[in-house]
Amino acid sequence: MISSTIFQLMQSLISLQEFQDAEPDLLAHSASAIIERINEYGLQCNVALKALCRRKKGLSVEAMSESAAEKKIKRMLFPRYHRKKLRPATDGIRDL
C-alpha cells in the first residue's frame, strides 16, 4: 500500500529524471505545490518517503523541528555544486 502511494505521488508530480535534470528555479516555483500534495497523503506518504530516501539514496530524513526539516529539503533541492556549462562544439579552429 505504501509503495503504491509513493508510486502514484511520483507519477502525478514529475518523473525522477525530470527532477534530477531540473534547474533549482523550476523546483523553487513548484515547492509549495509539491509539499501541499505530499501533505494530502498524510502519514502514509511520510513513511513511504522516508523508506524511499533510506533505501534508494541513503539519506537521513529525520528532523527535530519544522525548520530543520525545511533546511534539509532545501539542501536536497539546491545542492552546493554547479553544473558545468557545455561549450559549443568547434571544428578545432579558435577565433582570435
Reading the block at residue 56, the C-alpha cell is: 534508494
Nearest to 35 by CA among 55, 13, 19, 60: 13
State the residue for C-alpha cell 539546491: 78
DSSP summary character for residue 48: H
The pLDDT value given to residue 32: 78
User: Is the distance from CB of 32 to CB of 77 less than 8 angstroms?
Assistant: no
State the residue for C-alpha cell 508530480: 13
Q: Tell me the percentage of the chain whose pLDDT exceeds 90.
A: 0
DSSP summary character for residue 80: S
Helix (H, G, I), strand (E, B) or coil at 13: helix
Predicted confidence (pLDDT) per residue in 32-62, tens digit: 777 777 777 777 777 777 776 666 666 655 6
